Structure 1
Amino acid sequence: MLASLVAEVRGRPDMTYGQLLQAAGQVADRFRAEPGVVEVDEVAEKPVERWLFVTDQEKAALAGVSVAEIAETIRTAVDGDDSVVLREPNERQPLRVLVRLPRTARSDPRDLSRLQVVGRTGRTVTLSELGTWQPTRTGQPIHHKNLQRVAYVMAECVGRPPAECVVDILADQQPDGTAIADPNATPRPVAERTYLQPGGGVPWSMPIGTEVTFAGEGEWKITLDVFRDLGLAFGAAMIMIYVILVAQTGSFVLPIIVMLAIPLTVLGVMPGFWLLNQISGTTVGGYADPVFFTATAMIGMIALAGIVTRDAIILVDFMELAVNKGRPLFDAILESRVVRLRPILLTAGAALLSSLPITLDPIFSGLGWSLIFGLIASTIFTLFVIPATYWLLKAGKE
């Protein structure tokens, strides 16, 4: 992962890399206008001046100096030579001695021109007599991904998840070549944005022939992959729970009633995280420091699928046994809530209290809060939804 927020800019094969860098600059300008996006950086590097020594072949031949000897002399002066080792009695490994000119004597071509080169005849010749220094510039490195040229724009997100920043930025994107982002524009406040009406009101677009993607090397890509995999794991857990309940109850309908407690956890987890940030939200360096619904919180929801199912089984099993013994359906439902209330509260309370220490961990706090909010909501709703659903299923058969 290069950064929290990474944009990959690609273009047509006939476009130069400089044009890709210009397109990346427009994306960077839009990043700078987005609240909560800081440390915007591009892969474009400033040209660096480089000095190249051009040897006069004729003068070098007359002086009996080869080009390789000139290159070796310059390399030793600039990079140094560590072929000499020093052995100390108290050292296990020999110490290498680096011989190199001081920085002040090797930073100016005029100082390097005074170097002495030893020729094949043993005669020393000043470097300035063998050629001249010519200024050049280093080339711009070209980045590739999947055999395509790509220009990266990187940034960090503070106080906001990268997903929200990406959604708001993409919401303001216009057709190619129709708008240029203003990095000094005043965007719409984050508090006024919603999931139905995203965007900061700062229009921008890509140059014609270029495209930008965000699901590449940033946290957005990792978020998509992680929640996709956890979603598949959650679905697999639901299927396994259903299979086990069918084998246990011998019915294809009763497991559905029992598993109604699982989606009820969402009614507690999502509003719970919102309420937590409203009550205990803090700021660091002037930016919000919220508790996000992360991958660990999703793991907590998967764990909740087994915990809340157990509470529902306690109710349904009691109602089934009571009805089979001849108790009226309504009386069996009321009696199950009275008799099984204490075991349900004790099991939920034990799981809730054991989750409190997890909330102190900076990484797994989402898992702890997910368990707590899900248990509270699911326990409350289970006492009403499961009996009501059971009544609707069985009432017509009596």
Structure 2
Amino acid sequence: EPQSAYHGNGREAIGLNILRAENGHTLDTIQAAEAAMEKLKTRFPFIRFEVSYTQKDLIEGSVENMLGALREAILITVAVIFLFLGNLRTMLLCAVSIPFTYLITFAIMWMFGFEFHMVTLTGVILAVGMLLDDAIVVIENIERHYRERGRDLAKVVVGGTGEVMLAIFSGTYATVVVLVPIIFIGGYVEKVLRPMSLSLCIALVASYIVSVTIIPILAPLLLKKSHRPNRLETVVTRASDWFVQGIRDFYLGLLDTALRHRFVFLLAAVLLLGVTLKYARPLVGQNVQPPMDTGIIKINFEADANSSLAESHGILRQMEEIIRRQEGLVSISSALGSEPAVVSFGSGKNPQQGNITLNLVDRFHRKESIWQVEDRLRQDFREIPGLKTADVFDYGATPLSSLRATVDVMLRGPDSGVLYGLGREVERRLMQVGGLTSVSLSWGDDKQEILFYPDRERCALYGISVRDIAAQVQTALQGSTASTFRVQGEDGFPVRVRYAESYRDSLAKLAGIRVHTGFGEIPLATLGRMKPEYVPSLFTRQNLMNSIDVFGYRSQAALSHIMENVTRELKGIELPPGYTLSQEGDAKLGKANFAALTKAMGIGMVLLYFSLVPAFRSFLHPLTIMSAIPLALIGAFWSLLVTGKTLSTAAFMGIILMAGIVVKNSILLIDFIETARGKGMPVGEALRESVRIRTRPIVMTAFGTAVGMLPIALERAIGLERLSPLAVVAVGGLMFSTFL
């Protein structure tokens, strides 16, 4: 008798779940499976083969969108450079550095076997604005030398490049060194962020190489030719000069005021940072990873514990009918129950339990978000009679597939009855937690079974053991293999023998089952008593102890806000001796995740400081340079709050990356100040001169880096919801620290 069912797009079918090898490529696996399926179609033309679900469209769509975002990032960044320089030839020189840099980057990535997927491509896009930083500084300095010091192009190029070579090397090194700890930190953080960090590091090193080799070689070819600015260049140059001069004058005025009232300015900065960390930071909230609209919805459902497979099947049909009314539906895959001792979609599930996976068109081709669709499905499912629970959540709602829910409260102890009572209490409390869309138990105690209590004295009188009774009852109810039907060229088909359903569909008929004894056949009821009882619908164990889980699913609420409420609601629960309560799910991973990220950032800051000490031959100047990082944190947290993002793994990565970028810009100023002081210029005058000369390249690189990240911040590709906080943090922190 079947204990399971599978539907592919609403039709009964047999499903085959294909997984890639640990080191395999998803698209290669999909292509191989599709090729094998075509052969099967030819071999078995009377069988209909169909792909119910595949990640192919999601992956290919994401990559296509990512390449589009890369094109946008390059075009926007180059346009911004033109707006600042007002010179098409100089803009062209900057633009030329991009293909050279990417050529080197992709060659190195190919040599070391990198995969080109969403994470590595995000690193490549993030690098667009940063790639031009070094080239901009070199070109701008060469042009300034050319305007101020004459027409000897060789000396101008050598002098202009040499003057900033060490500074941009230190800046590039500073950005790379803060990323290095992430590459080796281990755990979930390394697994997720290592490809992006490596691709960024490779691109930044390649950018530096191009800036000090290719750019100086090409610069004379453009500078030595006489060039009369056209009308567009004239207009853009005037606007750019007006904008930069305004910023320069503002900075100089602010600098003069700050030098006269240093304590006031420092106190204001400290207070602003304190307010940000105390008020803005908690409001932002934390997530291991932010929600993502993949267009894939998962549904775990359970019917009444005493429902038959046919009744559960009917509930599944009603759910599928509701789902088919959804606009933009691509496919449905449904699994119900599981077969004993068979590894399948629903392994370990009862006939009353099932799951549904539905695929929608991507978010660019539908009006509603995936969370709006989920809300409507939850409402509609409540109208289905006999449906006990229906947990609706988006694909990838947890960072790891091994995590079963956002909130997973696990209770362990020796007695299942006590565990169920504790589980119901936890369930009741979690129902009060805001941000959770549904709460459910991993099992209930409402399954009715008929238990047989043998009379051992009477069994001994009839000469039959309890084991023999169990074997005969099993044959009557579930059947036993009596023979094998063999067909040439095929495996044998087992022939099972058991009672017809009409002889086993009531308690009275079960009591009348004939049992063979040494004294002939007698009714089962003669050997003991039968009693209906409620028992757990499922038995689960953790570390050899009985366990029950209380699952909580969320929509878009921040994990930290949910867990604060969960902790508050669970406070005061009294556990009997020998029973434990633990937080699993996202909360457990999140704690380890942010501890690893904090450790990586701390190591990065230490490496950064000690790498700057020999570069500036000072223990104080590196601290001065790194003082810009706390100011950038102010912009980072407020930008997250304004855009509605949370402090996630990607956002933390953005903070680390932002620290490197901010330090890089600070190095340009400090390096010029130290060079000027070495020539005998007073400190105040050196500060003013550095602002006067370095304002344009610093503002230009800041804007260039920021706009290069805009396609990621604006989520211009499927899947970028997971990585957009990185760009939001980097852009917000960079712009705030630049203007502060």
- Bin for the TM-score computed over the shorter chain: 0.5 to 0.7
How far off its partner does 1:259 sit?
1.0
Q: 1:351 to 1:274 in 2, by over 3 A?
A: same
CA–CA distance in 1 between the matches of 2:455 and 2:570?
A: 57
Q: Deviations over 1:112-167 (max 9, x none)?
A: 4454455679x6x2544753541153656897767988764332233322321332
**RMSD of aligned alpha carbons:** 4.1
CA–CA distance in 2 between the matches of 1:164 and 1:320?
A: 47
Q: 1:362 to 1:108 in 2, by over 3 A?
A: farther
Report if the CA contact (8 A) 2:651-2:729 is conserved. Answer: no
1:339 aligns with 2:693: yes
Q: Deviations over 1:1-25 (max 9, x none)?
A: 34322345689x9xx7756654554
Which of 608, 616, 619 is the aligned partner of 1:241? Answer: 608
Q: 1:21 to 1:72 in 2, by over 3 A?
A: closer
How far off its partner does 1:254 sit?
0.5
Alignment correspondent of 2:647: 293
Alignment correspondent of 1:36: 435
Q: 1:138 to 1:231 in 2, by over 3 A?
A: same
Which of 646, 654, 672 is the aligned partner of 1:318? Answer: 672
1:5 aligns with 2:407: yes
Q: 1:71 to 1:370 in 2, by over 3 A?
A: closer
Instruction: Give the counterpart letter for 1:374 in structure 2.
Output: A
SS of 2:408 mapped into structure 1: strand
Which of 465, 478, 492 is the aligned partner of 1:79? Answer: 478
SS of 1:230 mapped into structure 2: helix
Q: Deviations over 1:291-325 (max 9, x none)?
A: 43211211221222222211111111112112212
SS of 1:110 mapped into structure 2: helix
1:382 aligns with 2:738: yes
Q: 1:21 to 1:345 in 2, by over 3 A?
A: same
Report if the CA contact (8 A) 1:267-1:374 is conserved. Answer: no
CA–CA distance in 2 between the matches of 1:166 and 1:151?
A: 19
Instruction: Give the counterpart letter for 2:608 in structure 1.
Output: I
CA–CA distance in 1 between the matches of 2:539 and 2:586?
A: 23
Task: Decide which moves more: 231-240 or 68-77.
Answer: 68-77
1:131 aligns with 2:527: yes
Alignment correspondent of 2:62: none
**Aligned residue runs from structure 1 range 50-199, under 5 A:** 50-54=449-453, 67-82=466-481, 84-89=483-488, 91=490, 93-101=491-499, 105-117=503-515, 125-128=521-524, 130-135=526-531, 137=533, 152-171=549-568
Report if the CA contact (8 A) 1:109-1:133 is conserved. Answer: no
Report if the CA contact (8 A) 1:166-1:214 is conserved. Answer: no
1:365 aligns with 2:721: yes
**Aligned residue runs from structure 1 range 201-220, under 5 A:** 205-207=572-574, 216-220=583-587
CA–CA distance in 1 between the matches of 2:454 and 2:411?
A: 42
Report if the CA contact (8 A) 2:661-2:734 is conserved. Answer: no
Q: 1:165 to 1:60 in 2, by over 3 A?
A: closer
How far off its partner does 1:212 sit?
11
CA–CA distance in 1 between the matches of 2:702 and 2:498?
A: 72
CA–CA distance in 2 between the matches of 1:310 and 1:383?
A: 15
Alignment correspondent of 2:641: 274
SS of 1:264 mapped into structure 2: helix
CA–CA distance in 2 between the matches of 1:102 and 1:39?
A: 41
SS of 2:691 mapped into structure 1: helix
Instruction: Give the counterpart letter for 1:156 in structure 2.
Output: Y
Identity of aligned residues (%): 26
Q: 1:341 to 1:77 in 2, by over 3 A?
A: farther
Report if the CA contact (8 A) 1:4-1:156 is conserved. Answer: yes
CA–CA distance in 1 between the matches of 2:608 and 2:735?
A: 19
Q: How many residues align?
A: 335
Instruction: Give the counterpart letter for 2:564 in structure 1.
Output: V
Report if the CA contact (8 A) 2:408-2:549 is conserved. Answer: yes
How far off its partner does 1:231 sit?
0.6
Q: 1:215 to 1:239 in 2, by over 3 A?
A: farther
CA–CA distance in 2 between the matches of 1:120 and 1:348?
A: 94
Report if the CA contact (8 A) 1:48-1:138 is conserved. Answer: yes
CA–CA distance in 1 between the matches of 2:669 and 2:712?
A: 29
Alignment correspondent of 2:49: none
Report if the CA contact (8 A) 2:445-2:534 is conserved. Answer: no
CA–CA distance in 1 between the matches of 2:573 and 2:457?
A: 54
Q: 1:88 to 1:245 in 2, by over 3 A?
A: farther
Report if the CA contact (8 A) 1:49-1:138 is conserved. Answer: yes
Structure 2: state its 5+ residue gaps.
1-402
CA–CA distance in 1 between the matches of 2:615 and 2:494?
A: 74
Task: Decide which moves more: 229-238 or 21-30.
Answer: 21-30
CA–CA distance in 2 between the matches of 1:97 and 1:208?
A: 51
Instruction: Give the counterpart letter for 1:4 in structure 2.
Output: T
Q: 1:297 to 1:94 in 2, by over 3 A?
A: farther
Alignment correspondent of 1:395: none
Which has the larger share of helix?
A: 2
| TM-score (structure 1 length as normaliser) | 0.68
SS of 2:647 mapped into structure 1: coil
How far off its partner does 1:67 sit?
4.8
Structure 1: state its 5+ residue gaps.
175-204, 278-290, 385-398
Q: Deviations over 1:257-293 (max 9, x none)?
A: 111222223212211122112xxxxxxxxxxxxx432
CA–CA distance in 2 between the matches of 1:63 and 1:208?
A: 47
Alignment correspondent of 1:200: none
Q: 1:317 to 1:48 in 2, by over 3 A?
A: same
Report if the CA contact (8 A) 1:31-1:40 is conserved. Answer: yes
How far off its partner does 1:338 sit?
3.6
Task: Decide which moves more: 335-344 or 209-218.
Answer: 209-218
CA–CA distance in 2 between the matches of 1:228 and 1:364?
A: 24
